[in-house]
């Protein structure tokens, strides 16, 4: 049987057929396609903070991208540009804490990487342009930024993302975020943007716990998902 990979979902207004602006639990199909291409079965997980029992049916977990994390998760008040989804925060925090306790393979993407850091005792920059002085990580609405990052040699991030065309651990990635990791907590930072923004975190004491700030599902980076699925099979 194919491993079963759960993907947390957005809750946003959506339209289909005759139904206009209905609240919907959804996810970009690129996540599903990436998991399917890696040899696993994707299951979409809407927000649910009752329990984490669904993890018993999963072989791996992806915390997907989306809206900002609520700063209450790391003891701060929301800034003027912070746009959070408390239902996702509650449900995903519950799932992630349980997954980490049971060594379930976990991949956090964008928001998911930030939740990993916060869950492990870290905190975020609520608005990166105030820190780095540019909008290059989110150039405009619906526009991905592309920029270079440097990967730590020998890290899980380097293993799954590659050494780059020059073999020096430098690659180009696509990003869309205005928040970023200020403190990784107990996690290890294993990739940085040229402006110092944290681009990957991981827990080397776990079989597979990795967060990436970029969007491999949109860029066709299959190795990250193949590595997650390989971990799910063990």
Active site residue 178: no
Q: Choose the catalytic residue: 92, 199, 202, 217.
A: 217
The C-alpha atoms of residue 201 and residue 186 are separated, in whole angstroms, by 10
Active site residue 110: yes
Q: Choose the catalytic residue: 125, 177, 178, 215.
A: 215
β-sheet bridge partners, residue 62: 7, 107
Active site residue 120: no
Q: Choose the catalytic residue: 110, 125, 177, 221.
A: 110
Spatial CA neighbour of 46 closest among 84, 12, 82: 12
Residues labelled catalytic? 110, 215, 217
């Amino acid at each position: 049987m194919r491993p079963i990979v759960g993907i947390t979902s957005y809750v946003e207004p959506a339209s289909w057929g005759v139904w206009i602006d209905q609240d919907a639990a959804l996810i970009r199909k690129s996540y599903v396609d990436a998991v399917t291409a890696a040899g696993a079965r994707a299951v979409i997980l809407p927000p649910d903070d009752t329990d984490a029992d669904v993890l018993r049916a999963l072989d791996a977990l992806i915390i997907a991208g989306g809206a900002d994390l609520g700063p209450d998760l790391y003891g701060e008040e929301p800034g003027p540009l912070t746009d959070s989804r408390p239902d996702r925060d509650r449900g995903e925090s519950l799932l992630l804490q349980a997954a980490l306790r049971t060594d379930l393979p976990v991949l956090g993407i964008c928001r998911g990487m930030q939740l990993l850091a916060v869950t492990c005792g870290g905190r975020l920059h609520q608005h990166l342009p105030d820190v780095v002085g540019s909008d290059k990580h989110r150039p405009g609405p619906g526009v991905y930024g592309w920029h270079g990052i440097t990967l730590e040699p020998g890290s899980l991030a380097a293993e799954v993302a590659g050494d780059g065309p020059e073999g020096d651990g430098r690659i180009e990635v696509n990003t869309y975020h205005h928040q970023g990791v200020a403190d990784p907590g107990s996690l290890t930072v294993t990739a940085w943007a040229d402006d110092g923004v944290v681009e990957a975190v991981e827990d080397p004491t776990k079989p597979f716990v990795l967060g990436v700030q970029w969007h491999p599902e949109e860029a066709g980076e299959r190795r990250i998902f193949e590595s997650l699925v390989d971990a799910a099979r063990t």
